[in-house]
Structures are given as structure tokens and as C-alpha cells.
Amino acid sequence: MKRKEFLQKTALSYGILNLPLRSEGKVEEETKTEIESPWLEAEDLTDLRTLLVQLQSDSKEFKLTGNWSPGKVFAHCAQSIEYSLKGYPEMKSSFFRGSVGKVAFSIFAFKNKMNHGLEEPIPGAEDISNETELKVGIKKLIQAIDDFSKAKESSLRPHFAYGELTKEEYDVAHSLHIKNHMERVLV
């Protein structure tokens, strides 16, 4: 079995083993409190772009929990997409990207859900002010999505943690990244 195949199967097995188990008649507490959100239902960057355009025209009530302002969160998500086009400032080791990083991405993609430090900057990234206005952050993210959409797969740079990704895999990674941040939306 090739190393790549082994890592993919390991990630799939890990993902399956970690799926929430439900016993008959019991509903997990988590599902009782889940709130439907168009952000979390979005399937790809195209869907998220549509939501951003809508939010751009009516952003009065938009709030997130946590210490980062919504403008900073959107600018941070834009920054990640921009780095996939021009290169990340700091990279994990090639061993990490080829093993742990690949497995992590496979698990996130399999579960269609990412978990990461929601107030951790991209390693080596330019600092983003917490005073970034919401509309500025939204505009940056829409522009980054547009630039990514126009980019050729051959022009994409390796992810700092996941390594080489196809354009489709990058769309998944960026979408899951944005959706993970949108779990903090206050309704």
C-alpha cells in the first residue's frame, strides 16, 4: 500500500470512528441547540460569496462572539485565500504537511467541518487590525474569492499545514475555514 493511500485510509477510519454515536430515542444535547444558519449550510465558496454580497447590503445586525471583530474575521479569511494564491509566509515542515496536515485535511473534508483556533492568526501573516470595519472585511473576502475563482490550479501555492491541494480541495478548505468562523454568528 502506498503511503498516500495509507494516510487517506487512516484519515477515513479516524473520521468514521469519531462520528457522533446516537442511541435509539436519544438526541444529543448539541443537536437540540443547533441553530440553522445559511453560513453553515453553504456548500462552497460560491455560496459563501452570495451570502457575503447579501450581508454587504444589510450588515447592521451582524455580530460574532469572541474577541475578533467581524471585520477582522472576514479579512483573516480573505488573507488565507490570498496566501493560497501567492504563498504562505511560514510553512510547517514538509513532513508535517505530508502526514499530519494531510490527515487533518482529510478528516475535515470527510466530516465537512473544520475545527481550528478561531483567534489564531495565520503563521507569519501580516497583523490585521481588530478595528477593521465589517464592510472592509467583507469586500476583501469577496475580492479574494473572486481572485481564487479566476486562478488556474497550476498557480496555487501549497497550504502552510495541508501541503499541495487541488483547486477543488482548496475550495473545500477555504469554505470550511469560513464556515468554522461563522459558527460564532450571534442570531
Which of residues 161 and 58 earns the better pLDDT score? 161
Are the C-beta atoms of residues 131 and 69 closer than 8 Å to each other? Answer: yes
Q: Buried b / exposed e across 86-98, counting CB within 10 Å, b at 16+?
A: eebeebbeeebbb
- pTM of the complete model: 0.81
Beta-bridge partner residues of 185: 64
pLDDT digits (tens, 9 = 90+) for 70-92: 999 999 999 999 999 999 999 99
Quote the CA–CA distance of 87 and 119 in Å, as a whole number.
21
3-state secondary structure (DSSP) of residue 66: coil
